[in-house]
Chains A and B, each alone.
Chain A
């Protein structure tokens, strides 16, 4: 059990839809992350929230909008996506955002944009 849950596990959406991905961590951590994993590419960091403050936006298009209402929950709001946005979206958490705090990943949401 990783302690990080994500819903939904699979999502198919059209380019004009609006949907949200949800992540919850049960580890008492203070940092949460969104990553994108595409086929044959390394994991791409999208956003970091440290103590509920967004501290990193890795040049992510505005059609992806994160929200962190508290230290246990993280959302990724999606709107007007493109087919190239289809990927596995992974949430992770760590005690804090730092070089000595290992990150624990959720199972991911497999997103397909049609």
Chain B
């Protein structure tokens, strides 16, 4: 099935560094979502974006909905050890009959060295 291309696949950074990850697709999406998943847990919604060009922040996290509606990025500033986990982008697109199809990226595994 269709997937989003998420990069990088993994990152190993020093505490205090900034992090950037992105997702691209050949298709347009109505909504972009960013989730964080810890081992053995479900994805937790971090940021939701609804309009092309929208820039939204949640604490140290900032995400943008690409102007073409085919991409999105997530930045984490001043990383801390609890930022460790897998970050997923997800796009919602119109399905048949006003339904919404949620497509996930492959995930970015973030490790933070204290």
Contacts and interface: CB of A to CB of B under 8 A. Distances in A.
B102 A45 contact: yes
A55 B99 contact: yes
Interface stretch (A13-21, A64-72, A74-82, A98-106): A98-106
Q: Which of A100, A101, A102: most chain B CB closer than 10 A?
A: A102
Contacts of A50: 99
Contacts of B100: 94, 97-101
B93 A99 contact: yes
A108 B40 contact: yes
A61 interface: no
Contacts of B92: 98-102
B42 A107 contact: yes
Chain A, interface size category, equals 20 to 34
A106 B35 CA distance: 12
Interface in A46-62: 48, 50, 55-56
Q: Which of A88, A99, A105, A106: most chain B CB closer than 10 A?
A: A99
B104 A43 contact: yes
B63 interface: no
Interface in B41-81: 41-45, 48, 50
A88 B41 CA distance: 9
Nearest to B92: A99
A32 interface: no
Given A43-B104, A108-B40, A110-B40, A102 B99 contact: no
A99 B96 CA distance: 11
Interface of A: 2, 4, 6, 42-43, 45, 48, 50, 55-56, 88, 90, 92, 94, 97-108, 110
5 contacts: A42-B106, A98-B98, A100-B30, A100-B50, A102-B48
Q: Which 7 A-B pairs have the closest CB atoms?
A: A99-B30, A105-B42, A99-B100, A102-B48, A98-B100, A99-B94, A108-B42
Interface of B: 1, 3, 29-31, 33, 35, 40-45, 48, 50, 92-95, 98-102, 104-106
